[in-house]
Amino acid sequence: MSKPRKTIKKPLKVLFAASEAYPLIKTGGLGDVAHSLPNALAHVGLDVRLVLPAYRDVLRRVEDLQVLGWIPLGDGLDARILQGWHAAFEMPLWLVDIAHLFDREGNPYQGPDGNNWPDNPQRFTRFSQAVALLAADRLDAGWQADVVHANDWQTGLVPAWLHETATPPRCIYTIHNLAYDGQFDYATFQAMHLPPAWWSIDGAEFHGNLSPMKAGLIYSDWITTVSPTYAREIQTPEYGYGYADILRHQQHKLRGILNGIDTRTWDPTTDRHIAAHYRCDDQLAQGKAANRRALLKALGAPTKAQRADAPVIGFVGRLVHQKGIDLLFDAIPALLRNTLVRFAIIGSGEQQYEERLKALMAQYPARVFGYLGYSEALAHQLEAGADIFAMPSRYEPCGLNQMYSLRYGTPPVARRTGGLADTVVDSTPTTLKDGSATGFLFDAPESAALEAALRRALVLHQNPTLWHQIQCAGMAQDLDWDERARSYLALYQGAPTAEGEQQ
C-alpha cells in the first residue's frame, strides 16, 4: 500500500485593488486601510498582491521597479504592468501604468483647481479592467487570483469586468463611502465601448448614468462595508444615497466588518512625530501635557495661550459636510465664552470651511489654532497633544481618527453614527461605573447637541480620576487589524464561487 500523500494547502491568492495606499499616496482613510489590511492579510498567511494605478507619486516612491508585461485593453490601448517594492508593504506591489491616465502630479482624483479630473471615468474604468485581467493571469506570470478584493467606486467596475471573464475568481467589494459613486453618462459609456449588458437596470445603469458603485454592488460575490452600524444605515434612505433599495435587495451578501488601525504607526509609546512618549500609567497626565505644549507651539500659539489648566479640543480631517465641521465651528464661540478651552483644527477641503476656519483663527488668536493643509506629522501631534477629540460627522462609514484618539488617550466626542457608534462607548453613570466608558456620543446632527456633549466631556475632564479611567479604557481597546483580517479571510474562504457553491 502506498503511503497517504500529505496534501500541501496552498495559501489563497488575493489581489487587493485600491486607488490609494499610505504611505505611497493618501487622501483619507481608504489609503490607511489599503496599507494595513493587505499587510494583515499577509500576516494571516495569504499570498497577497496590492495593485494600484501607477501615479507619478507612487512611481517616485516604489523601489526595484521591473516590467512584468503588457495587457491589451482594446481600442489599441495597452496597460504596462510594473512590479515594485516598498518597506511599508510585505508583498510585491503591482502598478497599472497607462501614462496618459496616471502619470501626473498631485491628488489622485482631482486637478489643481479642486475639481475631479475630467477623465476619471476613463482612468478608473481602465484601471479596473487591467485589475480583472491581472487576476485572470492575462500576463501569463503564473499567478492567478483566487480572490479579488476591490474598494470603493474607483474599483467598482472590477467585479463587472471579472464577470466578462470565463472563470471569474471570487470578488469582494468594500464600500468605504457610499456618497462617492463615480457616475458617468451614456456618451462616455459608449465612447469607451464598454459591454452593452452593463447598461441595464439589473446591471450598472443608475438613473440614466453608469454607476461604478452600483457595478460593485451587483457583480460582486460579497459586499462589505467598514462597520456593522454603517451596514445597517446604508439600507435606509437617509444614508443610502439612492442605493438603499439595491442594498436591501443584496442584504444576503452584505456584511459590516469594522476597520482596524495600524497600531505600529499609531503608538504613543514609540511615535516618532510626538514630543513625549507616554502610556497609561501615573505619568499619563504629564506626557499629555508635554505634547499639548508642543502641539500649541507647532500651531504657532502665543506663549500666553499656554495654560496648563486649559484643555485643548482637537479635530483632524477633511473639511467637508460629511465631517460636520460646520457644527464644530458653530459651537466654538459659545464654548469660548464660559470655558478656558482652546481649539486645534487641522484639515483641508471645501473653500467655505477653510475660510470659516481662517476667520475663527483671526477672531480668537489666543484660543483657536489651525493648520490648513495636509500634514501627517501634525495629525500625530494633535492626537497626542489634544485633551478631547471632536468628530461630529453627519455620517461616518468607520472613521479612523476616533480610533487613533482612543489609542492616544484623547477621548473622542462623536456623533452616534456608523463606525463612531461601534467604537466609542459613551460615558454614562453605568459605563463609568463598570469602567467601559471611552468617550462621549451625541445623536442630533446639530451644533447644540455637539456643544452639550463637549460640555459633558469638559466637566469630566475636571475629575482627574475618572478622566484617567476613561483615557485608559480607550488606550486598552483592541484596535488591531489581526482579528478583522480573519473576518475577511472567513469571507474569502466562504464566499460563493462563480458556480455558486459554498466552501
Task: Using CB under 6 A, pick the residue from 39, 183, 401, 410 that binds ligand ADP.
Answer: 401
Angle at 36 between CA 398 and CA 255, to 5 degrees: 45
Q: Where are the beta strands (DSSP E) in 54-114?
A: 63-74, 77-85, 93-97
Does 409 help bind ligand GLC (rule: CB under 6 A)?
no
Interaxial angle between packed helices 464-475 and 447-461, expressed in degrees from 0 to 180 and rounded to the nearest 10: 110
Give the other-Cβ count within 10 Å of 146's Cβ. Answer: 18
Looking at residue 305, the DSSP 8-state letter turns out to be: G
Here's the x/- map for ligand GLC, 174-213, by CB under 6 A: it reads as --xx------------------------------------
Q: How far is the CB of 158 from ligand GLC (least distance, A)?
A: 17
DSSP letters spanning 454-485: HHHHHHHHT-HHHHHHHHHHHHTS---SHHHH
* Residue closest to 227 by CA, chosen among 251, 260, 259: 259
Does 108 help bind ligand GLC (rule: CB under 6 A)?
no
Q: How far is the CB of 226 from ligand ADP (least distance, A)?
A: 8
Radius of gyration over every alpha carbon of the chain, rounded to an integer in angstroms: 24
Does 32 help bind ligand ADP (rule: CB under 6 A)?
yes
Task: Using CB under 6 A, pick the residue from 15, 17, 21, 30 that binds ligand GLC.
Answer: 30
Bridge pairing between strands 312-319 and 77-85: unpaired
Single out the segment in contact with ligand ADP by CB under 6 A; choices: 133-141, 370-378, 477-485, 491-499.
370-378
Q: How far is the CB of 29 from ligand ADP (least distance, A)?
A: 2
Looking at the Cβ atoms of 226 and 425, the one nearer to ligand ADP is 226
Which residue of the chain is nearest ligand ADP when measured via CB? Answer: 29
Looking at the Cβ atoms of 128 and 177, the one nearer to ligand GLC is 177
Looking at the Cβ atoms of 401 and 427, the one nearer to ligand ADP is 401
- Residue 409 binding partner per list ligand GLC, ligand ADP, none, with a CB distance cut-off of 5 to 8 Å that depends on partner kind: none
CB 398 within 8 A of CB 418: yes
* Residue closest to 230 by CA, chosen among 112, 303, 322, 92: 322
368: left (phi over 0), alpha (psi -120 to 50) or beta: beta
Task: Using CB under 6 A, pick the residue from 61, 80, 253, 318 that binds ligand ADP.
Answer: 318
Does 346 help bind ligand ADP (rule: CB under 6 A)?
yes
Residues in touch with ligand ADP (CB under 6 A): 28-29, 32, 316-318, 346-348, 374-376, 379, 398-401
Residues of this chain that bind ligand GLC (CB under 6 A): 28-30, 33, 176-177, 226, 259, 396-400, 419
